């Protein structure tokens, strides 16, 4: 037994320890940039009241999906309803005045004008006869003067009747005043209707309520947000990218993302925005990715992990990252095999993927490499165990 153990130790020294090696192979390699971020809609809508009023009822809860036009909050509307009734009454009065102008005042003025014109015609004829008789000496001057006075009065009455017809006709002062009052009454009714409608606060569009700061009895005021709505539709993933990777990321690049709450479910995304500025405190840049088909489980502000595909190679030489020494320097190298010994082989790297790296120069397909963690040093004899 002792002789066998010695022989094994001698053989191990002469041949070297058994080491599992990796083989250079050809395959596809995708280079990605990994970052974390959160879910965000492109914008949020703050929902508030346009009037001051006490809240009667809140119809929805935080986190609830709502549709455009759906009532959310009801305000006390008793005074607004009374104002609406008053405006409706004022409008009815203005419309009655307009009908009175059209159906009574204007026809009566036209009839009075016809009568005044008939009186004027009779007065003119009387004056003409009296003047003729006076010229023949058959009438007195006093009678002619009386006829002239009656003619002047008739002319004045005709002018007055004409003015009454004009003012009552479309474009006349009385007609314009009635039309103005009618327009004001309609405007007041529209205003009262609008203010009453403001007592019911509705959703401006489809979405999900992500916060609520209103309860029954709250006094709503213009400019004070009662709820915040995340509109339905486009969803974005916002990440903080290490500025060292900024040169790798471009608009339109595809990505795969997963929510931390659902790590096994993947969603497709695409780079849609790269902030032109750098956050100097974190040495990062804000990048936004659009999600064309957001899954139903996605929620506002949910934490996500994103892999952005920055480059891709097909049928290229690929080795595990664990085999590359000084991979972050300008002179990377690997431990290869030559005549049973580990030898240093400089390499030129290309794309870097998850756990793999592309070899641009220095190795060929089928070459064996010693992993860094094997403890083998340059020049050491080993027995390579190929996969």
Q: Counting Cβ atoms within 10 Å, is residue 162 exposed (0-12), middle (13-18) or buried (19+)? A: middle
* Max Cα–Cα distance, the chain, nearest Å: 182
Tokens 């974190």 map to which residue? 282
Q: Could you read off the pLDDT tens digit of each residue along the chain, which spans 387 residues?
A: 444 554 445 555 556 788 888 899 999 888 888 899 999 877 788 899 999 999 999 999 988 889 999 999 999 999 999 999 999 999 999 999 989 988 888 899 899 999 989 998 998 998 888 888 878 777 778 888 888 898 899 899 999 988 988 988 888 888 889 999 999 999 999 999 999 999 999 999 888 888 898 999 889 999 899 999 888 777 889 999 998 888 889 999 999 999 999 999 999 999 999 999 898 888 899 999 999 888 888 887 899 999 998 888 888 999 999 989 988 888 999 998 888 888 999 999 988 888 889 999 988 898 888 899 888 888 888 888 887
The DSSP annotation for 185-240 comes to: HHHHHHHHHHHHHHTEEE-SSSEEEEEE---TT-EE-TT-EEEEEEESS-EEEEEE
Q: Counting Cβ atoms within 10 Å, is residue 361 exposed (0-12), middle (13-18) or buried (19+)? A: exposed
pTM score: 0.55
Q: SS3 string of 76-124?
A: CCHHHHHHHHHHHHHHHHHHHHHHHHHHHHHHHHHHHHHHHHHHHHHHH
CA triple 200-202-205, angle to 5 deg:
165
Q: Are 302 and 265 in contact (CB under 8 A)?
A: no
**Sequence-separated (6 or more) residues with CB below 8 Å from residue 139:** 130, 133
Report which secondary-structure segment, H or E, holds 193: helix 173-198
The Cα 368–Cα 24 span in angstroms is: 6
CA 140, chain centre distance (Å): 95
Tokens standing for residue 8: 């094994």
Q: Are 310 and 31 in contact (CB under 8 A)?
A: yes
Q: Are 131 and 144 in contact (CB under 8 A)?
A: yes
Tokens standing for residue 90: 């004022």
Q: Counting Cβ atoms within 10 Å, is residue 291 exposed (0-12), middle (13-18) or buried (19+)? A: buried
The Cα 97–Cα 93 span in angstroms is: 6
The Cα 227–Cα 73 span in angstroms is: 10
**Sequence-separated (6 or more) residues with CB below 8 Å from residue 268:** 254, 255, 256, 291, 292, 293
């Amino acid at each position: 037994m002792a002789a066998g153990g010695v022989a094994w130790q001698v053989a191990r020294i002469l041949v070297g320890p058994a080491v599992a090696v990796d083989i250079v192979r050809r395959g596809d390699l995708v280079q990605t940039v990994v970052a974390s971020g959160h879910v965000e809609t492109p914008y949020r809508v703050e929902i508030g009241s346009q009037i001051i009023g006490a809240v009667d009822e809140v119809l929805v809860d935080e986190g609830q999906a709502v549709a455009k036009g759906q009532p959310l909050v009801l305000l006390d509307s008793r005074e607004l309803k009374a104002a609406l009734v008053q405006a409706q009454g004022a409008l009815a009065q203005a419309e009655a005045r307009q009908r009175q102008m059209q159906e009574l005042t204007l026809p009566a003025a036209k009839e009075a004008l016809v009568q005044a014109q008939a009186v004027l015609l009779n007065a003119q004829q009387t004056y003409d006869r009296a003047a003729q008789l006076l010229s023949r000496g058959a009438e007195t001057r006093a009678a002619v003067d009386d006829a002239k006075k009656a003619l002047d009065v008739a002319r004045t009455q005709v002018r007055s009747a004409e003015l009454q017809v004009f003012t009552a006709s479309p474009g006349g002062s009385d007609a314009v005043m009635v039309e103005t009052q009618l327009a004001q009454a309609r405007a007041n009714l529209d205003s009262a209707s609008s203010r009453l409608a403001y007592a019911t606060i509705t959703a401006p569009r489809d979405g999900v309520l992500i916060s609520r700061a209103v309860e029954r009895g709250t006094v709503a005021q213009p400019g004070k947000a009662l709820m915040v709505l995340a509109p339905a539709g486009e969803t974005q993933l916002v990440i903080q990218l290490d500025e060292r990777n900024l040169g790798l990321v471009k608009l339109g690049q595809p990505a795969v993302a997963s929510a931390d709450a659902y790590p096994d479910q993947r969603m497709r995304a695409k780079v849609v925005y790269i902030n032109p500025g750098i956050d100097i405190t974190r040495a990062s840049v804000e990048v936004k990715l659009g999600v064309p088909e957001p899954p139903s489980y996605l929620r506002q502000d949910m934490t996500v992990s994103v892999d952005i595909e920055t480059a891709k190679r097909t049928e290229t030489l690929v080795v595990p990252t664990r085999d590359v020494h000084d991979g972050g320097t300008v002179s990377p190298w690997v431990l290869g095999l030559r005549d049973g010994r580990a030898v240093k082989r400089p390499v030129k790297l290309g794309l870097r993927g998850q756990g793999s790296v592309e070899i641009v120069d220095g190795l060929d397909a089928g070459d064996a490499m010693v992993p860094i963690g094997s403890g083998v040093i340059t020049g050491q004899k080993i027995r390579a165990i190929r996969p």
